[in-house]
Amino acid sequence: MRLAKTLVLAALALCLAQASAIAAVKVTFVNPEHYTDLDRNRPWYQQDTLNQFQRTFEQLGATYLKPGQTLKLDVLDIDLAGYFEPWRFYGYDVRIMRDYTPPRFKVHYALEQKGRVILQADETITDLAYLMNPAGRLSSERLGYEKAMLKDWFRNRFGLMRPPPGV
């Protein structure tokens, strides 16, 4: 009985130690009601879009951040790829993709390791060639172009540790 208690406590301590070493992403959507391109007429759509981006950032953090790193990410603005044609009626709103309507995110982030900020910046993330990116074009997911752009940015900025432009 004593051995079983000891093993359970050791396993619990090991799990807690590993949990503290896992990379984390803390996303804050700052004033989403003022974002350039979220459908304000359908609150459920807006919330689903933000939830999808939240999950995307968390998955990318688990993939590209090192254990013990924490990324605090403030999303300041979102402009989705394409646009809706204003003359279409509700229910026929199809997002039209053009090369001059790329996805764009404005963010502020701070990457911390062991409680110390190792990288901090304000950036505008965009992919001007998003229509040529096969990851977005071949994706069957909603927001495929945006997710492909965020994956490329995350890999470059935090996986390969390339500095932001102008730094």
Secondary structure of 84-144 in HEC code, one letter for each residue: ECCCCCCCCCCEECCCCCCCEEEEEEEEEECCEEEEEEEEEEECCCHHHCHHHHCCCCCCH
166: DSSP letter: T
Whether 108 contacts 114, CB under 8 Å = no
Whether 12 is covered by a domain: the verdict is no
**Which residues on adjacent β-strands are paired with residue 94?**
none
Whether 41 is covered by a domain: the verdict is yes
Task: Give the pLDDT band (50/70/90) at residue 94.
Answer: confident
Rounding to the nearest 10 degrees, give the CA dihedral for residues 153, 158, 160, 166.
70
Whether 11 is covered by a domain: the verdict is no
pLDDT for the residue 7: 44
pLDDT for the residue 90: 63
Of residues 92 and 46, more confidence is placed in 46
Q: Which residues contact 57 (CB under 8 A, 6 or more apart)?
A: 25, 27, 71, 73, 150, 154
Whether 9 is covered by a domain: the verdict is no
72: DSSP letter: E
Report whether pLDDT(87) > 50. yes
Of residues 125 and 81, more confidence is placed in 125
Report whether pLDDT(26) > 90. yes
- Closest to 112 in 3D by CA, of 73, 71, 74: 71
pLDDT for the residue 140: 74
Report whether pLDDT(166) > 70. no
* Residue 68 identity (one-letter amino acid): G
Whether 68 is covered by a domain: the verdict is yes
Report whether pLDDT(8) > 70. no
pLDDT for the residue 84: 75
Whether 133 is covered by a domain: the verdict is yes
Whether 119 contacts 167, CB under 8 Å = no
pLDDT for the residue 58: 97
Whether 4 is covered by a domain: the verdict is no
pLDDT for the residue 6: 47
Of residues 38 and 13, more confidence is placed in 38
Provide the residue range defining the domain that includes 112: 23-159
Q: How far apart are CA 81 and CA 1, in angstroms?
A: 61
Give the model confidence (pLDDT) of 44-77 as tens digits.
Answer: 788 999 999 999 999 999 999 999 999 999 999 9
pLDDT for the residue 89: 64
Report whether pLDDT(106) > 50. yes
Number of domains in the chain: 1
Whether 18 is covered by a domain: the verdict is no
- Give mean pLDDT, residues 24-43: 86
Mean pLDDT over the full length of the chain = 82
The alpha carbon of residue 129 and the mean position of all alpha carbons in its chain are separated, in whole angstroms, by: 19
